[in-house]
Amino acid sequence: MKYSINIGIIGYGIVGSGAVKILLMNADDIAKRVGIPLNIKKIVDLDITTDRQIGYNVSNFLSTDVNEILNDPEIDIVVETIGGIKPAISFIKSAIEKGKNIVTANKELIAKYGFEILPLATENKVDFMFEASVGGGIPIISPLKSSLAGNKIHEIIGIVNGTTNYILSRMKEEGLDYVEVLKDAQAKGYAEADPTSDVDGFDSAYKITILSSLAFNSSSKVENVYREGIKSITSQDIKNADEMGYDIKLLAIANENDKCQVQARVHPTFVPKNHPLASVNGVMNAVYVKANAVSETMYYGPGAGSLAAGSAIVGDIIESARNILTNSTGKISCNCYASKEMISIENLTGKNYIRIIAEDIPGCIASISKIFANNDVSLERITQKETYNGIAEIIWLTHESEEYKISKSLEEIEKLPVVKEIGSRIRVI
Amino acid sequence: MKYSINIGIIGYGIVGSGAVKILLMNADDIAKRVGIPLNIKKIVDLDITTDRQIGYNVSNFLSTDVNEILNDPEIDIVVETIGGIKPAISFIKSAIEKGKNIVTANKELIAKYGFEILPLATENKVDFMFEASVGGGIPIISPLKSSLAGNKIHEIIGIVNGTTNYILSRMKEEGLDYVEVLKDAQAKGYAEADPTSDVDGFDSAYKITILSSLAFNSSSKVENVYREGIKSITSQDIKNADEMGYDIKLLAIANENDKCQVQARVHPTFVPKNHPLASVNGVMNAVYVKANAVSETMYYGPGAGSLAAGSAIVGDIIESARNILTNSTGKISCNCYASKEMISIENLTGKNYIRIIAEDIPGCIASISKIFANNDVSLERITQKETYNGIAEIIWLTHESEEYKISKSLEEIEKLPVVKEIGSRIRVI
């Protein structure tokens, strides 16, 4: 008979301190929902002097020595929120091997080493839970594992990075350019000093790797995810999109075709304004799932933040605590029982928005159009925008076309003497 | 060692046949996700001759005798999809007492008798699962029980009835009146021949009773839910709302105040166009949850339909099967450990839209305004719409005001000789 579940928390930063605050703030209700209290036994961080201002005094629990968690046989659940691969991976493996259940927010670790860690957890009959790794506080991992488990999932489309969604939303609302908004976002703490992981799509790529593995029951490799960030998007692209009935969002998309091949990709995308994802603005995230029984469902909420990510962490702790009390830990892991080929973006078929900067001289549009035609790319719409100093901006919207035909066309178009630059090429959902 | 989980299905109608189709269509993946196959052993219905056109031959499993399920010791999970109170309640109680796990879509039964059945399930250590009872295929019961369990929930706002949302959406899109759209919805199968349960808000009231009980851990009583349907909404109200920046939705709302009192209500509501619920159209449903850690999350998807509800049923079956395999059934029930007072709508504070039909004579607006002022209701906006034959339609938007003050004002206004009718009174979210 257990009288409490003991928790050790490795990493007392934004996410870790959010989880600690929630465990203390909602302790009474949580104890009743679990059946017995959840007890924070130890919090480990390199920095145990900075006050995290959570409104509770946790100084008695703080330590800089991770072994006080790993070697404490009374600790049932280890929460890892330090992020990154090293040393997180060795802490997690050690904890699993000691029979501790793991709750983590570490998307990079799961995307890169999930194939190794999840079976280790199953082998050791411990829980390995990672709701906080995708979509912050949005329940999406759990629905994929359970509520939707009767479905064959066809496609997952997510806005899973709050920083880029915030930047794109503000670029649209205020007509500002990327660099301006990024600076302001950094000043406000919505973007990091080095924004690469967000704006170049790495963060989204980790997350779609995780969702793809869960949805298609096959371990997806992050290096097979096509990745393109938002740096080349201009306020003019956003304005053009708006005029054509679209919003531009950085989407993370994974789908399985009827040959059981999986494709995963991250890129800016034209989203029709009436699509549920179009109205997901600012730092909010959403994940849209298409499946063969339920058709479409969407999950919406805050994609980041101390208490939002903390909410997902504590939800996992509660679920694991319930499993501990019923001796049923280690029940569901990734469930990657299949081994599906991942195919490249060259196999994609879709519409493309293309912005070309060219000399405004007779025959220019004709010569570009001819290249598209020679490559079997048919066009839905051509619009010539403003001309300055003899240089025109020409907007092309293709019909559905194979990715490689568009790419080949653009390679050839770029070489035309009249063409100054391929300004943008954005896929349409 | 079990080699399969045996399922008995009571009710082979729209929901039951959807579940059967999914179990057969996705059998291979489901078996891998559970660990062993799920086996449909018996399907019971009064009508076993109508072909449900699910694309699979299930004639060997059909029976009209419910005892072939209830008395079969090999059946592990009983799915109840007949709906209503009698005889469903006796079948469910009998199955629970025989140690069978229950999966049901029966919102009326849970709303009215959940307080009795859930403890019975806990006592008998069986699962009682009801994801399909609210929001069709949308996972919302499971997030409330698990992923969000670290939160103190403040408020739940749902569009949980597809029929009324379809009617209101079409009234808006096409400028049609309620009666016209209802007739067409009935012809298309989106509304029942007797639409009372939907259009008068009973269905939504059952659903918010269930959500409220789960969210606030206190058994809510459906008779304490304020209920108002959509029959009095005119196309003019919808047009007025649109001009003022709102959509009209039938919302089911439950919240807990800082005195631990719960209020639940169903009524047409002005929803600001930038609210995530405003863009939930047609037969789609969504549930919006405000909580103290995660802030706001929303769950969106098809609120009805054979495969959508079937998806929720099969998700529950899979979860229960996993519990059976780990001897951990009966783990979480409603968790109604608290006993919170339910308070009436008279305690509500909010803005109201009021449409008054009155004689277009000098002093009319002044006399109505005076009544509002005497009752301490301040006004945000007054608009006089078209006048015909000396009769004017006057639109009032109040500032935040206590419900009882608005009600008292309207009672007095109705008695004014110049006033022909209080056309509508719609609360604003």
ipTM of the complex: 0.96
Q: Return the pLDDT at B335.
A: 86
- The pLDDT tens digits for B47-105 are 999 999 999 999 999 999 999 999 999 999 999 999 999 999 999 999 999 999 999 99
Nearby residues of B76 by Cβ (< 8 Å), 6 or more positions away: B5, B6, B7, B100, B101, B320, B321, B324
Minimal-distance CA residue of chain B relative to A301: B297
Residue A363 CB burial class (10 angstroms; 0-12, 13-18, ≥19) = exposed
As annotated, the residues of chain B forming the CATH 3.30.360.10 domain(s) are 141-302
Q: Return the pLDDT at A334.
A: 63
The CATH superfamily label for domain B5-137+306-325 reads NAD(P)-binding Rossmann-like Domain (3.40.50.720)
CB-side neighbour CA atoms (13 Å) of B281: 11
Report residue A204 CA to chain centroid gap. 4
Q: Which two tokens stand for residue A314?
A: 């504590």
Minimal-distance CA residue of chain B relative to A316: B147
Minimal-distance CA residue of chain B relative to A34: B332
Residue A244 CB burial class (10 angstroms; 0-12, 13-18, ≥19) = middle
Say which of A152, A297, A308 has its CB closest to residue B137.
A297
**Is A260 an interface residue toward B (CB < 8 Å)?**
no
Q: d(Cα B207, Cα B203) in Å, to the nearest integer?
A: 6
Q: What angle do CA A320, A325, A330 make, to 5 degrees?
A: 45
Q: Are A308 and B5 in contact (CB under 8 A)?
A: no
**Is B153 an interface residue toward A (CB < 8 Å)?**
no
Q: Categorize the per-residue pLDDT at B333 as very low, low, confident or very high, splitting at 50, 70 and 90.
A: low
Contacts with B216 from chain A: Cβ below 8 Å: none
- Mean pLDDT for chain B overall: 96
User: What phi-psi label fits residue A159: left (phi over 0), alpha (psi between -120 and 50 degrees) or beta?
Assistant: beta
To which residue do tokens 């509002």 refer?
B372
**Is B120 an interface residue toward A (CB < 8 Å)?**
no
- The pLDDT tens digits for B401-419 are 999 999 999 999 999 999 9
**Is A273 an interface residue toward B (CB < 8 Å)?**
no
8 Å CB contact of A150 and B318: yes
Q: Are A55 and A23 in contact (CB under 8 A)?
A: no
Minimal-distance CA residue of chain B relative to A276: B279
The catalytic site residues of B sit at: 207
As annotated, the residues of chain A forming the CATH 3.40.50.720 domain(s) are 5-133+306-325
Q: Which two tokens stand for residue A279?
A: 């109205």
Report residue A376 CA to chain centroid gap. 34
Q: Choosing among A129, A144, A146, which should be mutated to test the B contact, i.e. which has the most B CBs within 10 A? A: A146
Nearest CA-CA partner of B315 in A315, A294, A323, A236: A294
Q: d(Cα B287, Cα B51) in Å, to the nearest integer?
A: 34
Q: d(Cα A83, Cα A101) in Å, to the nearest integer?
A: 17
**Is B312 an interface residue toward A (CB < 8 Å)?**
yes
The sign of the CA dihedral A346, A351, A355, A356 is: positive
**Is A295 an interface residue toward B (CB < 8 Å)?**
yes
Say which of B147, B311, B331 has its CB closest to residue A139.
B147
pLDDT exceeds 90 at position B179: yes
In order of B3, B58, B233, B269, B398, the CA distances from B250 in angstroms are 47, 39, 10, 6, 20
8 Å CB contact of A217 and B142: no
Q: d(Cα B201, Cα B25) in Å, to the nearest integer?
A: 35
Q: Categorize the per-residue pLDDT at B385 as very low, low, confident or very high, splitting at 50, 70 and 90.
A: confident
Interface of A with B in 316-375 (CB under 8 A): 316-319, 322-323, 326-328, 331-332, 335, 337-338
E-state strands within B217-350: 226-227, 246-256, 262-272, 284-291, 295-302, 349-350
The sign of the CA dihedral B90, B93, B97, B101 is: positive
Q: With a cut of 50, list the residues of chain A below it in pLDDT.
A: none
8 Å CB contact of B29 and A317: no
Contacts with B295 from chain A: Cβ below 8 Å: 137, 301-302, 305, 307-308
Domain spanning A5-133+306-325, CATH class:
alpha beta
8 Å CB contact of A152 and B328: no
Domain spanning B141-302, CATH class:
alpha beta
Report residue A210 CA to chain centroid gap. 9
E-state strands within A111-160: 128-129, 153-159
Contacts with A299 from chain B: Cβ below 8 Å: 297-300
Q: Are A37 and A14 in contact (CB under 8 A)?
A: no
Q: Return the pLDDT at B123.
A: 94
Residue A213 CB burial class (10 angstroms; 0-12, 13-18, ≥19) = buried
pLDDT exceeds 70 at position B334: no
As annotated, the residues of chain A forming the CATH 3.30.70.260 domain(s) are 348-428
**Is B150 an interface residue toward A (CB < 8 Å)?**
yes
Shortest CA gap A31–chain B (Å): 10
Instruction: Please give the helix or strand (H or E) that residue A384 lies within, else none.
Output: strand A379-388
Interface of A with B in 390-429 (CB under 8 A): none
Q: Return the pLDDT at A304.
A: 87
- Which phi and psi (to 5°) does residue A101 adopt? -85, 145
Helix residue spans in A155-194 (DSSP H)? 162-174, 178-188
Say which of A30, A292, A297 has its CB closest to residue B301.
A297
Contacts with A296 from chain B: Cβ below 8 Å: 301-302
Minimal-distance CA residue of chain A relative to B137: A294
Say which of B146, B279, B305 has its CB closest to residue A318.
B146
In order of A279, A309, B427, the CA distances from A139 in angstroms are 19, 10, 30
Q: Give the CATH fold of the A348-428 domain.
A: Alpha-Beta Plaits (3.30.70)
SS3 B213: helix
Minimal-distance CA residue of chain A relative to B294: A308
Contacts with A148 from chain B: Cβ below 8 Å: 139, 311, 315
Q: Choosing among B151, B156, B289, B322, which should be mutated to test the A contact, i.e. which has the most A CBs within 10 A? A: B151
Q: Choosing among A7, A15, A29, A327, which should be mutated to test the B contact, i.e. which has the most B CBs within 10 A? A: A29
Contacts with A318 from chain B: Cβ below 8 Å: 146, 149-150
Q: What angle do CA B321, A320, A4 make, to 5 degrees?
A: 125
The catalytic site residues of A sit at: 207
**Is A16 an interface residue toward B (CB < 8 Å)?**
no
Say which of B26, B291, B297 has its CB closest to residue A151.
B26
Say which of A293, A315, A322 has its CB closest to residue B332.
A322
To which residue do tokens 């592990």 refer?
B76
Q: d(Cα B286, Cα B294) in Å, to the nearest integer?
A: 17
Say which of B131, B293, B298 has its CB closest to residue A147.
B131
Q: Which amino acid is at A90?
A: S
Query: Taking CB atoms and an 8 Å cut-off, how many pairs form between chains A and B?
Result: 206
Q: What angle do CA A415, A421, A425 make, to 5 degrees?
A: 105
Q: Return the pLDDT at B207.
A: 98
Q: Which two tokens stand for residue B179?
A: 């009666």
